[in-house]
Amino acid sequence: MATTYIVRKNSRNDLKDRPGYERFANKRSGPSSGGPKRTGGSGGGYSRGPSSSGPSRGGYRGAPSRGNGGGGRGRGGRQQEMAVDLSKLVNKAKPQVQEDVFVPKHSFADFPIDALLKENIIAKGYKNPTPIQDESIPHVLKGQDVVGLANTGTGKTAAFLIPLIDKVLKMRALGKEERILVMVPTRELAIQIETEFWGFAKRLSMNAVVCVGGAGIEPQIRVLRRNPAFVIGTPGRLKDLMERRDLDLSKFSTVVLDEADRMLDMGFIDDMRFILSKMRGERHTLFFSATMDRSIERLVNDFLKNPVRISVKTRDTAATIDQDVVRVARGRKLEKLIELLKNPEFDKTLVFGRTKHGVERLARDLSQVGIRAESIHGDKTHGKRQKALSLFKSNHASVLVATDVAARGLDISGVSHVINFDLPATYEDYTHRIGRTGRAGKTGVALTFIEEGY
C-alpha cells in the first residue's frame, strides 16, 4: 500500500507564495507502480543521500508552518489537510515508447478562416493542429461556448487566438466591432499570449494590449483609448481599470478564461464574477483549464451556456519527464542543490521554492558560489521579472529560482531540469511545475528534495 504524507493547504487556496507544509519523515520512494520503499540505500537516480560536509543552512530547512509563516500574505491560520502520495514523484522517462500517434481531423488549410491569417499560421511553423486545437477551433468558429481540458504545453493559446482573430475579421467585414477579453492568472502568461497574438495578427491591422499589475498603468490606458481588439489581462488590473472608468466592457461580447483553475486557486473568483457581469449579456465564453474539480465545474455552470466539452488530457505528467526524489539531511538542502547545479548537465534549471523571501535568498546564495542564478516572484516589479526571464531564456542565467507564479503558462524552451527545492502545496501544482521540462518530445528531469532527520 502506498505511503502518504500530509501537506497542509490554506482554506483560501491562495498558497502560491506561502509556506504551508507538515513534516515529511520518509525514505526514498520506489517505482510509481509499487509505492515507496522503506529500505535503505540510494536506489539509483539522484537519491544518493546528503553531502557530508559543510554547515547547516537552517533557513532552508522547510520546517513545518504554523499559520501563515514568512514570505506570503497571511490571511489567518485556517488550514485543511491534503494527502500526497510520494510514489507519484518517481517515474522513469520513456522517450522511446511510441504512444498512439495523433491524426488530426483537420489541417489549418481546412479551417474556414481568413487567407492572410492562414499565411501567418504557416509562417509561424504550424503544420497540423494539436489535439486541443483540432477539437476546439471548429466549435469556436461556430460561436459555441467551449470548455477545454488539456495538459500544459498542448497549444491552448492558438486554440482560441486563431478562431477569435478570424472572428474579429469577419465582424469587421460586416461593419461591426468585435472586441475580445482574455483573462489569465499571471502577468507572464498574459505577455506570452500577446506575443503569440502578434505572430498570428501580422498585416491584419489588429491591435492588442496587456493589462497587468506591476507595470505602469498609464501606457496601458493610452492603448485602451485606441480600442484594441484584444485586451489581455489579470483580474486585479482589469478591475482597477474598470473602476477608473478606463475600461468599458459593455462592448465586449467574447471572453476567454485561460488557466481558470489557477485563477480560482489564487482567489480571483470575486473579481472574475465582477468583470464578467459588466460584459454584454449575450456572451461567447471560452474556458480552458488543466484540471476539472467541483469548484471549476461550478464556474462552468455559472459562466457558460450549453458549452461543448473537450478533453484531450491523457496523463498528469509527460512520459518524457524522468522524475525522482533526492533525500537530503535536515538543513543540508542548499549544499545538495549547489552540488547538483555544478554538474554540466544542469545547463538550464528551474528551481521552485515556497516563499518569495526564500526564493530571493536562494538565488542570491547560488550567485555567491558562482552559479548564474536569477529569481522571479510576486514581490518583484514587472520589469525585473521580465529581465530575469529574458536572461534565463537567452541562457545568460543557467538557473531560475521561482515561486509557483512561474509554474503555469510560461513557455520556456530547453529547460533541462526542474528541481522542487520546496514541496508544492498540491499534486496539481507539482504537475505544472515539472511541466516546464520534457517539452516538444525532449527528455527532461524533475527532482524533488525530501528532507530527512525529523
Query: What ranges do the domains of the chain cover?
Result: 4-96+317-452, 115-311
In this prediction, residue 143 carries a pLDDT of 95
Q: Please determine, for residue 62, whether its predicted confidence score (pLDDT) is greater than 90.
A: no
For the beta sheet containing 230-233, the strands, ordered from the edge strand earlier in sequence to the opposite edge, are 208-211, 230-233, 180-183, 254-257, 284-289, 146-149, 308-311
- Over residues 107-129, mean pLDDT: 92
Please give the grid coordinates belonging to residue 17: 507564495
Buried b (16+ CB within 10 A) or exposed e, 226-259: eebbbbbbbbebbbbbbeeebbebeebbbbbbbb
CA distance 402 to 420: 10
d(CA 112, CA 22): 54
pLDDT exceeding 70 applies to what percent of the chain? 73
Given a cut of 90, whether residue 341 has pLDDT beyond it is yes
Average pLDDT over residues 222-229: 96
**CA-based nearest residue to 280, from 252, 248, 241:** 252
pLDDT at 301 > cutoff 60: yes
Q: Mean of the pLDDT values across residues 276-280?
A: 92
How far, in Å, are 3, 117, 212 from residue 220 at the CA level?
51, 26, 9
Average pLDDT of the chain, as a whole number: 78
Residue 398 exposure: Cα atoms within 13 Å on the Cβ side: 14
The alpha carbon dihedral of 408, 267, 359, 429 has a sign of: negative
Judged against a pLDDT cut of 60, whether residue 454 lies above it is answered with no
Decide if domain 115-311 falls under CATH 3.40.50.300. yes
DSSP 8-state class, residue 169 = H
Structure-block grid coordinates of residue 319: 512520459
In this prediction, residues 78-93 reach a mean pLDDT of 51
Q: What are the pLDDT digits (tens) for 144-153? A: 999 998 876 6
**What is the tens place of the pLDDT at every residue in 304-332?**
999 999 988 655 566 778 888 888 888 89
- The CA distance from 364 to 264, in Å, is 32
Choose among 320, 321, 361, 370: nearest CA to 341. 370
Mean pLDDT to the nearest integer, 375-403: 88
Of 415, 445, 352, 435, nearest to 91 by C-alpha is: 445
Write the DSSP string, 211-237.
E-TTS-HHHHHHHHTT--SEEEE-HHH
Q: What is the pLDDT of residue 167?
A: 98
Looking at the domain 4-96+317-452, which fold is it?
A: Rossmann fold (3.40.50)
> What percent of the chain lies above the pLDDT cut of 90?
45
Are the CB atoms for 192 and 112 separated by under 8 Å?
A: no
pLDDT in tens, 70-80: 333 333 333 33
Instruction: Report the phi/psi class of residue 71: left, alpha or beta, with left for phi > 0 and alpha for psi in -120 to 50.
Output: left
Topology alike, domains 4-96+317-452 and 115-311: yes
Question: Residue 44 — left, alpha, or beta (φ > 0 → left; ψ -120 to 50 → alpha)?
Answer: left
3-state secondary structure of 146: strand
